[in-house]
Amino acid sequence: MGRTLKKTASKAPDAATSSNQPGLKSLERRRILQDWAFISPQLFLFVMLTLVPFLFAIPILFTDMANFTDPSVNNVGWANFTAIFDNPSVAADYFPALKRTLIFVGLNYTTVYIFGLSLALLMFEFGVRRGFFTIIYMPLMLSGLAVGYLAVMLFAQQTGSMNLFLLDIGLISKPFDIFSANGTRWILPAMVGWRYAGFNMAIFLVGLLAIPTDTIEASIVDGASYWQRLTRVYFPQMWPSFIIATTMALIGAFSVFDELVAMGALYVNPEAKLLSILFFTYGFQIDRLALGMTLAVITSVPLIIVGVLLLRLQRRLQY
Amino acid sequence: MTNETETAEPTQAGKHRTPSYRRKRKIYAGIAVAVMIIYSLLTLIPFYVLGVRSTVPTKESTTLHLWIPEADEVNLDAQVGNLAVFYDLDLADFKEAIGIPPTVFLSARTSLRDISEEYDIPEAEIRSFFSGFYTYNGWRTILGDEQFYGALGRTLLITVVSLVGLTILSVFTGYGLAGLRRRDQRIVYSTYLLQMVIPAMLILLPQFLVIQWITNLIPGFSDPGMTRVVTQLASIVAINVKGTAFSVLIFTAFINGIPRELEESAMIDGASRMQYVWRILMPLIKAPIVALVVVQLPLIYNQFLEPFVYLDPRNSTLLPYIQSTVGVYSTNFQVIYAAILASIIPLMIVYTVFRKMFVKGALAGAVKG
């Protein structure tokens, strides 16, 4: 940043003198240069840390690099890409993790609507109340790690407070078990949905508030039922919100990590091993770095394509 | 969209003004508020339970506690040595608190009853000394751990530096891109938008490669010392300030809305563009700055993965520290929940104090996605 400051500061005096006889072209060129002086510090970091990593990664996908300090790296061609089909141990890791991830993404996406959209509609119809908003937004201040430990605290089979409470009042006869396949499957998306409820509510609420009120009033005057109002007035005008919420939920859910670590995914709880955990373990723990990176690429490519399509759709709808 | 609404019976028009409609609406509003209250309670319950559970001793964790438990009687046959291990008890403090001269040596096998008899100290006094250990043992362990404060300090440092850096760099980017009039500007803009669709799990391993490559170029990085610590912390900050789709979107759009005449008149008065940004632009774009800060603050403060991967455990931030604490006390729930709660509290205080800004920023942020 200091670099830019000096650059533009030194330019300031001659900008003033040369503007007396402006060659329009040179002025424009100077402006472009100055724009780039402003853009480049952050762009440099962004490119180095988000795009360059892929340039580094691509050649490694075709090797057997075991970890980040592996001294002997050999070329293995496309073996990493075919490993999920012809290497049973990789397939046994990958497909269950993929299945768990897809189930999580699906259920998590449902919570976006169960929590986010319904809360937003309630708020919209009966007035935005800051008190409720403050409370509903609060879990967003928690770390993923904390949310994971809260899940364990509430739903561990023997010690979960929610289990003990529900058993006590007789609502359930068998405690939930966060460490079982079923427990993880349902409790994890519920907790993640709870964490992001305020965030999703804000997205939908903004979409609702942007709807011109006369269209809503007209539909009321014309006697449309509430369902008709939802499907024919609100939703068609809320497309940008739906797309944003979908993109965020999709991309975010695929990368859920902290919650899983708290639920013991790295060591004791195989049911919480989603794809992100698998890639992490391959890269940092069990010397399958190149393989892990390849699996990450294979999984992400369709996701990125869907994401880009969603963004383009979003832009087309906006203008 | 119009089909159904247009064919609706004309007699139904104006229905919303009739008293029966109003009564109905009142009932609905009541139900809505009730739902909101129930959901808000559901939101608050985990926080409350966490507070209670941080005081519930592990051996009682299989029974339901709705409030801080009564302190249990300490077993007077317990031996001092075991207590020291189990409760992390400092024997010098213990001796001072119940009035035994510090020079006296207490054998690890001495039981509390022996002490009571030998030094003529009432049993009740010993019991009351231990009641705090029983309920607040988790808090004692966490707050008595020097590493906790170091980790908290590093977290706060990274958070503040990252937020300031991110804001300044993002304003610069937004200003440099404002208008998106030229092709190069639009390309840069789309590059940042890509960030929204790149999954974090994809970037993790390749990013580590690049950062490892850069940090290894720095002389003295491989030796433990100041250079290593600073470099590691700086790499976290670099990741945090690199800019996101959100930061670029929000500033580009907002700065674009500011009339160009303002800049031109500043130029005529002899201001450089840098002076214009600092003196005139910054005060005008408080709203997006607040939105950026309130959205990024919890993300940066609660960062786990990057510090977990890039920092040495000794110089870690709060969450990796907590994760390692959990590893040490894996079955001592009291300590684990106290640690989690301790990590939440600082941000909760900030949130409660600035809640209006958070709500406003969340809504402003949601507009831009």
CA–CA separation, B60 and B69 (whole Å)? 9
Indicate whether B134 pLDDT > 70.
yes
CB-CB neighbors (< 8 A) of A51 in chain B:
191
Across the strands, what pairs with B79?
B111
Q: Specify the 3-state DSSP secondary structure of A75.
A: strand
Q: How far is B368 from chain A (nearest CA, A)?
A: 9
Confidence of residue B145 (pLDDT cuts 50, 70, 90): confident
Contact B46 A304 (CB under 8 A): no
To which H or E segment does residue B4 belong? helix B2-7
pLDDT of residue B316: 92
Question: How far is it, in rounded angstroms, from Cα A247 to Cα A249?
Answer: 6
Domain boundaries, chain A: 2-55, 88-318
The conformation of residue B69, written as its DSSP 8-state character, comes to P
Is it the case that residue B11 has pLDDT exceeding 70? no
Q: Tell me how far CA of residue B111 lies from CA of B78, B137, B329, in angstroms.
A: 5, 20, 25
Half-sphere exposure of B18 (CA within 13 A, CB side): 11
pLDDT at residue number B30: 86
Question: Considering only CB atoms, which chain A residues are within 8 Å of B61?
Answer: 158-159
In this complex, how many residue pairs, one in chain A and one in chain B, have their CB atoms less than 8 Å apart? 304
Please count the other Cβ atoms lying within 10 Å of the Cβ belonging to residue A75.
Answer: 9
**Chain A (135-174) residues lying within 8 Å, Cβ to Cβ, of chain B:** 135-146, 149-150, 153-154, 158-159, 161-162, 164-165, 168
What residue of B is the nearest CA neighbor of A254? B199
- Residue indicated by tokens 């106290």: B338
β-partners of residue A75 are A63
Q: Is residue B79 helix, strand or coil? A: strand
Task: Give the CATH superfamily of A88-318.
Answer: MetI-like (1.10.3720.10)
Query: Taking 70 as the threshold, does the pLDDT of residue B4 lie above it?
Result: no
Interior angle at CA A282, CA A276 and CA A286, nearest 5: 140
- ipTM exceeds 0.90: no
Residue A318: per-residue pLDDT? 66
The answer to whether the beta carbons of residues A148 and A265 sit under 8 Å apart is no
Report the predicted TM-score, pTM, of the whole model to 2 decimal places: 0.85
CB contact under 8 A, A255 and B200: yes
Provide the b/e sequence for B149-185 (b: ≥16 CB within 10 Å).
Answer: ebbbebbeebbebbbebbbbbbbbbbbbbbebeeeeb
Closest-CA residue to A158 (of A170, A174, A145, A172): A174
What pLDDT, on a 0 to 100 scale, did the predictor assign at position A7?
40
Q: Is B59 on the interface with A (CB under 8 A)?
A: no
pLDDT of residue B3: 38
SS3 A63: strand
Q: A197 near A133, Cβ under 8 Å?
A: no
pLDDT for the residue numbered B106: 78
Q: Which residues in chain A are contacts of B359 at CB distance < 8 A? A: 130, 133-134, 137
Percent residues over pLDDT 70 in chain A: 92
Tell me which residue of B251, B78, B203 sits closest to A297, measured CA to CA: B203
Who has greater pLDDT, A233 or B179? A233
The residue with greater pLDDT, B5 or B202, is B202
Query: What is the per-residue pLDDT for B16?
Result: 52
Structure tokens at A241: 């919100």
Mean pLDDT rounded to a whole number for chain B: 84
pLDDT higher at A74 or A141: A141
Total residues belonging to chain A: 319
- In terms of phi and psi (left: phi > 0; alpha: psi -120 to 50; beta: otherwise), the region of A170 is left
Q: What is the 3-state secondary structure (H, E, C) of A176-206?
A: CCCCCHHHHHHHHHHHHHHHHHHHHHHHHHH
Q: Which of A4-13, A221-230, B150-159 has the lowest mean pLDDT?
A: A4-13
Rounded mean pLDDT, B213-226: 86
pLDDT at B248 over 60: yes
> Which of the 8 DSSP states describes residue A98?
H
* Residues on chain B touching A46 (C-beta within 8 angstroms): 191-192, 195, 242-243
Per-residue pLDDT at A139 exceeds 90: yes
Residue A44 pLDDT level (bands cut at 50, 70, 90): very high
Q: Quickly tell me which residue has 């609420």 as its tokens.
A: A205
Cβ under 8 Å to A: B residues 160-219: 165, 168-170, 172-173, 175-177, 182, 184-185, 188, 191-214
